[in-house]
């Protein structure tokens, strides 16, 4: 889970356990997350299931091109293929951990990294989970922040497991 999302979620009273393969990405969460676990999300480090799992998936970050224009020159088609493979593996692992919901999010607007990854999944309407200011960017149950929102590009789905 990205540190910003973790901090907001914890500040709203959620019991948050943060997991990432990178200690550097977890470092800002020390003292803000009940527990921090460094592991590869493709193999669960947990024995129990959680009601909700937020999968802030590694992605091409094309939604952040406005702030990071070098992405246009750095990103190759093979990178996108590698990300989608990893995203599918992480989502499969998240399905084993979550009992009710998976929030799948990326900082990408690419359909290959979003709609194609969650295709066939039962979805809940993201608008039921976000505040009204954000809900105006929900279209057909999917949150898609675009440059017109004033924020980085971002996509989020709520997958309903029961």
Q: Which residue numbers are catalytic?
A: 107
Provide the H-helix boundaries in the chain: 3-11, 23-26, 71-74, 77-97, 115-118, 132-135
Tokens of 143: 């949150």
Neighbours of 83 (CB within 10 A): 22
Query: Which residues are paired to 56 by β-bridges?
Result: 105
Sign for the pseudo-dihedral over CA of 32, 14, 2, 50: positive
What is the helix, strand, coil percentage profile of the chain, to 5? 40, 25, 40
């Amino acid at each position: 889970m990205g540190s910003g999302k973790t901090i907001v979620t914890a500040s709203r009273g959620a019991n948050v356990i943060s997991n990432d393969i990178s200690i550097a990405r977890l470092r800002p969460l020390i003292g803000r997350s009940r527990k921090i676990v460094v592991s590869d999300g493709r193999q669960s480090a947990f024995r129990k299931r959680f009601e909700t799992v937020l999968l802030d998936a590694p992605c091409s970050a094309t939604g952040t091109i406005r702030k990071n224009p070098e992405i246009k020159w750095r990103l190759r088609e093979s990178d996108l293929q590698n990300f989608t493979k990893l995203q599918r593996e992480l989502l499969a692992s998240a399905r084993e951990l979550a009992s009710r919901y998976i929030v799948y999010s990326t900082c990408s607007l690419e359909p290959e990294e979003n709609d194609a990854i969650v295709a066939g999944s039962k979805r809940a309407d993201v608008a039921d989970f976000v505040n009204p200011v954000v809900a105006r960017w929900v279209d057909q149950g999917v949150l898609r922040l675009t440059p017109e929102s004033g924020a980085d590009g971002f996509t989020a789905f709520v997958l309903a497991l029961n």
